[in-house]
Amino acid sequence: MKKKILHPVFLAMILAFILSCENREKSASTFENSSINAEIIGFIPDKCFCCWGWEIKIGDTIIKADSLPDAAAVGYVISQPVPVAIETGKMKTKCSDGPDYYEIKSLTLK
């Protein structure tokens, strides 16, 4: 009796896991090749994997960029959010413990 009940439950758990992985893949590429209004909220100067770069807030999501088309316009010391319009390219680096890195093709201060 327990075998008959556990088998469908186990299959349902596997299916849910697979679907959640697909949803993560879709959401990870949401910002690829897009023109988006955003805010640059910080710069992290630490030179380590998935540390260095500008933190860019898009809605409730944060992405990162290791370079900007005009870094001097934004700067490296950011005390308050800088509103910008950006055009993103492809995801450059997927970070497991933090925001993913995207190519920033263009940046316009708002």
The verdict on pTM exceeding 0.85 is no
| 5 and 58 belong to one structural domain | no
**Amino acid (one-letter) located at 34:** S
Residues 13, 62: one domain? no
> Per-10-residue mean pLDDT for the chain, 110 residues long?
58 52 49 93 92 94 94 93 96 90 95
User: What is the rounded CA–CA span in Å between residue 56 and residue 39?
Assistant: 6
Residue 47's pLDDT is: 86
Q: List the domain range (segments joined by +) for residue 11.
A: 1-30
Summarised one tens digit per residue, pLDDT across range 28-43 is 557 899 999 999 999 9
CB 19 within 8 A of CB 26: no
Look at residue 44 in the predicted model and tell me its pLDDT. 95
96: its two tokens = 């497991």
DSSP string computed for 48-108: STTTSEEEEEETTEEEEES--TTHHHH-S--SS-EEEEEEEEEEEE--SSSPPEEEEEEEE
Both 74 and 105 in a single domain? yes
Q: Same domain for 41 and 23?
A: no
Note the pLDDT of residue 31.
86
